[in-house]
Structure 1
Amino acid sequence: MKICCTPRPSTRWHGTGWSAAIRRKAVLASALVAVMLTGVAATPSFAEENYKIQINGAEYEIGLDEPIRVLLPDGQELVISLSQDEFARYATDSFSFFHSNEYRPSRADLGAGIHQTALVTPFGTGVLIQEYSSINPTPLIDLMLTELTKEEVEYGYEYQDSVISRTVGGKKVEGKQAVTTYQDTVWTRSVYAYGKRDSGLVIMTFIQSDYAEQDQKLLDDFWRTLEIN
């Protein structure tokens, strides 16, 4: 663990064998993290969304948790309701996880062979997962952590980081966690990486202490159900 005013420059770039073009991709991806976080917002799942069902060729509109009555030609009346499971599954070719149906993940193409999935609450707690199809992103951990915390460090937040790891379905993901503190405000941000020869994932989580009680479950559910392909 280290305590400092500014994060130290990463040494993980040395010996990667990355070309200048690949390094530019990596820097672009890390810069986009900060940009995406400013524009990312939770997408609630509303019960008002309309669906249509067909019964014997006849079409009826129905909303979640809004029962409707349907009168059949023979005079029989049906009461039909539509409900949603508490959890929904989100999956890509690289990973999958379950999340509360209260929110919906969003996915964006960042270019340069990078796709990003975001799941964020209104309080700023969330998960960002970046999929890389042309490079092994494991050397990006320090760079990503710097992008996530640099504004706070420049403002004067106390900064602590430590090495962390998790096992996800038999696969080990390693990374770093940063805790930034200013007065009563405490942010905890974690960056993990899982790499193959020319591809991999960067997984970022973040939560503020003020909202940990209501939002920690989102992170717990994510890690409990995450599968890496």
Structure 2
Amino acid sequence: MAGVIAVMLASAPAVSEDLKAYKLTIDGVSVDIDPGEDATVTLPNGKDARVKLERNAFATFSSKSFSFVHPSTVTVTKTNLSKGVDQHLMASAVGSMVIIQEYSDMNPVMLNQFMLQEITKESVRAGGKLTQKAGSRKLADGKVLKGLTATVKSSTDQVAYEVMSYGTADQGVVVITSLDDDNAAADRPMIDRFWQSLKLRMGG
């Protein structure tokens, strides 16, 4: 099909039940459409083209210093915690999480124990038993993140955590994952794909 296809978010206000989430433009002709829907577009040459907008199963999230693949149905949010520190959060519907704290002016590798204490303190206060040991993750490009693996076990559930970090002289990341045993079957693939696809764009 000749021409450039552009997909953009529809910008009209949500005042109609029929408003679609996306606008598909082909050779200057636009049609509103939702993922999974079919539509017919009449091109400038008079010919009709049948189009369908489908969501890819996975997408790539990129920041200045890292990228990873995630399910396209799961949103990655970014929060600026302080000067030089951004936090990126990916959470499933049942609460399994991947958190990446991105440091642009310091090496954060000494923060592993502190981060583990912070993310588990409420569960421990409620009576959960924390066990931990040293751990590491080797990425596809050979970079190695080092840190801690841990579990918090209570009378009702058990949650597995990883806190791993990587840094150079003046930048780095801390990666935290959280996975409840009850949700492991559904959410472990999301976390496994994250680790398999994580790329760090920094030296070392």
What TM-score comes out, normalization by structure 2 length? 0.84
Bigger proportion of residues as strand: 2
Bigger proportion of residues as helix: 1
Take 2:82 and 2:168, find their aligned partners in 1: how far apart are those partners?
20
> What's the CA shift for 1:157?
1.1
Take 1:212 and 1:118, find their aligned partners in 2: how far apart are those partners?
18
In the other structure, the counterpart of 1:182 is 154
Cα distance, 1:205–1:73 mapped onto 2, change above 3 Å: closer
Q: CA RMSD in A?
A: 1.6
In the other structure, the counterpart of 2:104 is 133
In percent, how many aligned pairs have the same letter? 32
Take 1:199 and 1:54, find their aligned partners in 2: how far apart are those partners?
41
In the other structure, the counterpart of 2:66 is 95
Selected match of 1:196 from 168, 186, 204: 168
Counterpart of 1:187 in structure 2: which amino acid?
A: V
In the other structure, the counterpart of 2:182 is 210
Residues 161, 176 of structure 1: 8 Å contact kept: yes
Cα distance, 1:104–1:162 mapped onto 2, change above 3 Å: same
Q: What is the 5 A alignment of 1:76-95?
A: 76-95=47-66
Take 1:201 and 1:187, find their aligned partners in 2: how far apart are those partners?
22
Does 1:219 find its partner at 2:186? Answer: no
> What's the CA shift for 1:57?
3.0
The answer for unaligned runs of 5 or more in structure 1 is 1-47
Cα distance, 1:140–1:126 mapped onto 2, change above 3 Å: same
Take 2:89 and 2:164, find their aligned partners in 1: how far apart are those partners?
15
Deviations 1:61-92 (A, max 9, x none): 12211101234566533211111221101111
> What's the CA shift for 1:108?
1.2
In the other structure, the counterpart of 1:44 is none
Moved over 3 A (4+): 71-76
> What's the CA shift for 1:123?
1.1
Task: For residue 120 of structure 2, give the secondary structure of its aligned residue in structure 1.
Answer: helix
What TM-score comes out, normalization by structure 1 length? 0.75
Take 2:43 and 2:147, find their aligned partners in 1: how far apart are those partners?
60
In the other structure, the counterpart of 1:110 is 81
